[in-house]
């Protein structure tokens, strides 16, 4: 049973020389923080570290010890400088192994994309004993090793991995959801979705486009820990869709 009086905490390690150099602007801190808030978990600290094993190991061991959860973003790709898996394994005191299900996922994904070579196989490497986090974008899964969650550096992929974890972490309050469907192109109402999410504190809106019956549509899954806020947001979004001549479908299509 979840104890709602307990404050669950998380930390985030952003891995990457490109972030520290300023060549890339990090977008994962904001989205991880917002996602954790919806789960009822508080992001307490963030550390940005270079692509150096010792630096990652030290950060992992420090932050995982004083928080319920630790997330990392970056450094789990196919290149030689993607060393987050090695560093986390070292921090946990376990070897790196090829996860059989991760290998199967990658083999299927790359079957029509040139096959699974040695570089791509690196993305099946996990700390021994780890579980996988689903990735619907690029095949390569995220990794859960104890209370450490290894996510992609690419924000759109990280978002999908977080979505796969929604409601699965023990936290402050259970996450509830409400779906509104509509025959509309996702791009047509992207600004509307973002503005709506901002107006309702503690709400996240996931957009899931599809093509059926020769038409483009999308289901919008609204998530919150507050039933009243959830309903208000769903009603507001439905009213906005109706106002632009797009009929909302309560419960989804």
Query: Quick one: how far is CA 95 from the chain centroid?
Result: 25
pTM, two decimal places = 0.72
Sign of the alpha-carbon torsion through 228, 191, 189, 204: negative
Measured distance CA(50)–CA(55) in Å, rounded: 7
**pLDDT tens series, the chain, 253 aa:** 344 567 799 999 999 999 999 999 999 999 999 899 888 888 999 999 999 999 999 999 999 999 999 999 999 988 888 999 999 999 999 999 999 999 999 999 888 888 888 888 999 999 999 999 988 887 889 999 999 999 999 999 999 899 888 888 887 677 788 999 999 999 999 999 999 999 998 898 989 999 988 999 999 999 888 899 999 999 999 999 999 999 999 999 9
Angle at 135 between CA 226 and CA 128, to 5 degrees: 105
CA separation for the pair 72, 100 (Å, rounded) = 22
Long-range contacts of 146-149 (CB under 8 A, 24+ apart): 146/64, 146/92, 147/64, 147/67, 147/68, 147/69, 147/70, 148/60, 148/64, 148/69, 148/70, 148/71, 148/72, 148/88, 148/91, 148/92, 149/69, 149/70, 149/71, 149/72
Rounded to 10°, the helix 155-165/28-39 angle is: 10
């Amino acid at each position: 049973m979840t104890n709602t009086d307990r404050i669950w905490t998380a930390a985030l390690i952003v891995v990457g020389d490109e972030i520290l150099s300023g060549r890339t602007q990090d977008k994962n801190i904001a989205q991880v923080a917002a996602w954790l808030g919806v789960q009822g978990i508080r992001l307490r600290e963030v550390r940005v570290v270079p692509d150096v094993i010792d630096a990652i190991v030290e950060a992992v061991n420090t932050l995982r010890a004083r928080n319920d959860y630790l997330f990392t973003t970056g450094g789990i790709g196919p290149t030689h400088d993607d060393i987050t898996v090695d560093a986390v394994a070292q921090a946990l005191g376990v070897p790196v192994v090829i996860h059989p299900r991760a290998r199967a996922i990658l083999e299927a994904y790359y079957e029509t994309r040139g096959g699974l070579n040695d570089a791509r196989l690196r993305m099946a490497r996990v700390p021994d004993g780890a579980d996988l986090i689903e990735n619907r974008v690029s095949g390569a899964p995220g990794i859960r090793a104890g209370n450490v969650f290894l996510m992609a550096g690419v924000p759109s992929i990280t978002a999908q991995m977080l979505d796969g974890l929604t409601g699965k972490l023990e936290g402050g309050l259970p996450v509830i959801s409400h779906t509104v469907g509509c025959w509309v192109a996702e791009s047509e109402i992207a600004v509307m979705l973002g503005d709506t999410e901002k107006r309702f504190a503690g709400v996240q809106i996931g957009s899931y486009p599809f093509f059926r019956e020769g038409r483009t549509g999308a289901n919008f899954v609204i998530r919150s820990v507050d039933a009243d806020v959830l309903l208000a947001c769903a009603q507001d979004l439905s009213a906005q869709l109706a106002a632009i001549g797009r009929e909302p479908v309560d419960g989804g299509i």
